[in-house]
């Protein structure tokens, strides 16, 4: 996927833009004329995020622990009900 990282003027009338092909490669492409409409659209969609990765990981881990606890409680409840049914069946016999 190619994204325009920025326009940088060269010595001639042409502009060059850096378009990352992969994380390790940067291709330089000569552009005849800068199209402001496209550049403006790209600038509007730019979103710089500085996530707190430690907090996100802790939150995700907490949710996973809570889900696991809920599953264990549900399993214990089912086992308890099953034992109760077995006990009632034995009493009826």
In a domain, 2, yes or no: no
For the chain, how many structural domains are there in total? 2
Instruction: Say whether both 39 and 55 belong to one domain.
Output: no
pLDDT confidence bin for 58, thresholds 50/70/90? very high
CB 81 within 8 A of CB 73: no
Assess if residue 1 is contained within a domain. no
In this predicted model, what pLDDT tens digit does every residue of 2-28 receive, in sequence order? 444 444 444 444 444 444 455 566 677
Residue at 82 is within a domain? yes
Q: Are residues 28 and 54 in the same domain?
A: no
Is the pTM of the predicted complex or chain greater than 0.85? no
The parent domain of residue 81 ranges over 50-93
Q: State pLDDT tens for residues 45-57.
A: 888 889 899 999 9
* 57 shares its domain with 24: no
Q: What is the mean pLDDT of the chain?
A: 79
User: Are both 27 and 13 inside the same structural domain?
Assistant: yes
CA torsion angle 68 70 71 73 (round to 10): 120
Residues 92, 54, single domain; the answer is: yes
């Amino acid at each position: 996927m190619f994204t325009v990282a920025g326009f940088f003027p060269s010595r001639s009338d042409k502009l060059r833009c850096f378009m990352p092909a992969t994380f390790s490669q940067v291709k330089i492409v000569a552009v005849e004329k800068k199209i402001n409409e496209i550049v403006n659209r790209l600038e509007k969609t730019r979103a710089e995020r500085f996530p707190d990765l430690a907090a996100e990981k802790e939150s995700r881990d907490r949710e996973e622990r809570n889900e696991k606890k809920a599953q264990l409680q549900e399993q214990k409840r089912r086992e308890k009900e099953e034992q109760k049914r077995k006990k009632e069946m034995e009493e009826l016999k």
